[in-house]
Amino acid sequence: MKKKLLPALFIATLTFFSNENLRAQNSINLDGINDFVQTNYSGISGSSARTVEAWIKTTANANPSAGGIQQIITDWGTNSSGSRFTFNILNNNAIRLEINGSSVNGTIPVNNGAWHHVAVVYDPSAASKISLYVDGNLDTAGNPAISVNTGSTVKLRIGNRVDGVTFFNGSIDEVRVWNVARTATEIAGNKDIEFCSPQPNLTAYYKFNNGLPNGANTSITTIEDYSTNTNSGTLTNFALTGSSSNFTAGASLTLNSINTSVTANNGTLTSAENMISGTTYQWLDCINGNSVIPGQTGQSFTPATPGNYAVEITKNGCKTVSTCTQITLATDSFDFGKQISLYPNPSSGLFSFQLPSTEEKITVSVKTITGQTVMSRNFSNTSEFTLDVNESTGIYFATIETSSGEFATFKLIKK
């Protein structure tokens, strides 16, 4: 059979590392008319300690003295005196904790259209039992005129009061409920972090990282609870298409436990984030706007052509993208690869290689397009060898490395 000389993929790498996982993720936008999320979380009842946090963005007027309507962030309980735990925006367009019959009011307006982190802490043992925080700073602290005794008639709602009267006009993100009174240090230190693993005392956690921002998301009916309690929420009355009443861009947060480093070895890129249960990978083409590379969902990826590549990692509901890694042509490897004959290709399984000279040691690895190694072979004191790729029909990548430090990667077509 006549030998056909085929070009190899002659790859060298310039690798960039990044541990900065800052990103804009999704939020839920509510229309202020009838949108809300009804969760399966019963909330914290009676007078037990608790903390509620969220990121919010709104321009709605909630100040009743200026013709505004209160904006409900979260609520649960019973609609009777002292029995609701209603976190909202009201007087002066500032946050407020209302328990039906009394309240504690903040002073800082939060309706300027920017993202704000807001939190309410109820500590029954403190002198000032209610504390309100805006962007990690204490806004006000005080006591309602009646005792907190939260009921259990209506489970946690996001964007609507338990009596169904008022809603929220704007975007909400990262809703968290804790069964402890979080400290000022804890609130300020964790407000910008999206948790990628379960946290002690976190009893409900809604990230809203579903769907496509402003996209067609009508098939999505529920959102996940990323606490250990897994009390999902039902999306109620949302359009789920367009730029409102839908999933939209969220606050920029830092992921606290995803390693976005990428290493390169002989033309193969590997994510440093270990593959554990729940971790997925998707390799992206940076040159083409981070477009998805079909089939490239392994921890490792061997590019077929030079370019810039990144990996999107999803872990426990967190999703982030690595810095791009550049793959360039290397002159030495190019010269080496040009002198290697590969035949036949495509093949039903047997692929023969002929090198330009005898090598003391040759190491060959064959990987799938998803980066899974299906074959590793070593050859000694030879200039030719044959690989029997006893695998399914498809595309594979064979990387040849010699003891003299030369390497080349070939695309194999198994028919």
Q: What pLDDT score was predicted for residue 333? A: 52
**Once rounded to an integer, what is the mean pLDDT over residues 162-174?**
98
Q: What is the pLDDT of residues 123-149, one digit of tens each?
A: 999 999 999 999 999 999 999 999 999
Residue 361's domain is classified under what CATH number?
2.60.40.3080
Q: What is the pLDDT of residues 77-96, one digit of tens each?
A: 999 999 999 999 999 999 99
Name the domain count of the chain. Answer: 3
Determine, yes or no, domain membership for 144.
Answer: yes
CB-based contacts of 10: which residues, under 8 Å, 6+ apart?
Answer: 329, 330, 333, 334, 336, 337, 338, 408, 409
Residue 398, token pair as written in the block: 């064979």
Residue 127's domain is classified under what CATH number?
2.60.120.200
Task: Clarify whether residues 323 and 334 are in a common domain.
Answer: no
Residue 277's domain is classified under what CATH number?
2.60.40
Task: Clarify whether residues 319 and 231 are in a common domain.
Answer: no
Q: Is the pLDDT of residue 350 over 90?
A: yes
Task: Clarify whether residues 402 and 354 are in a common domain.
Answer: yes
Give residue 392's domain range. Answer: 329-414
Q: What is the DSSP letter of 10?
A: -
Task: Clarify whether residues 153 and 270 are in a common domain.
Answer: no
- Gap between the Cα atoms of 365 and 360, Å rounded: 17
Q: What pLDDT score was predicted for residue 4? A: 40
Q: What is the pLDDT of residues 217-276, one digit of tens each?
A: 999 999 999 999 999 999 999 999 999 999 999 998 887 677 888 988 777 889 988 776
Helix (H, G, I), strand (E, B) or coil at 178: strand
Final residue before a domain boundary, out of 248, 271, 287: 248
Secondary structure (DSSP) of 56-112: EE------GGGT---EEEEEEE-SSTT-B-EEEE-GGG-EEEE-SS-EEE--S---S
Task: Clarify whether residues 296 and 376 are in a common domain.
Answer: no
Determine, yes or no, domain membership for 195.
Answer: yes
Q: How far is CA 56 from CA 87, 237, 247, in A?
A: 12, 20, 14
Task: Clarify whether residues 62 and 162 are in a common domain.
Answer: yes
Determine, yes or no, domain membership for 393.
Answer: yes
- Gap between the Cα atoms of 156 and 5, Å rounded: 67
Average pLDDT of the residues of the chain:
89
Task: Clarify whether residues 348 and 306 are in a common domain.
Answer: no
Residue type, 192: D
Burial of 74 (C-beta count, 10 Å sphere; 0-12/13-18/19+): buried
Task: Clarify whether residues 129 and 191 are in a common domain.
Answer: yes
Task: Clarify whether residues 334 and 324 are in a common domain.
Answer: no
Q: What pLDDT score was predicted for residue 18? A: 36
Task: Clarify whether residues 353 and 289 are in a common domain.
Answer: no
Task: Clarify whether residues 340 and 198 are in a common domain.
Answer: no
**Once rounded to an integer, what is the mean pLDDT over residues 15-42?**
76
Final residue before a domain boundary, out of 328, 351, 372: 328
Final residue before a domain boundary, out of 218, 248, 278: 248
Model pTM?
0.69
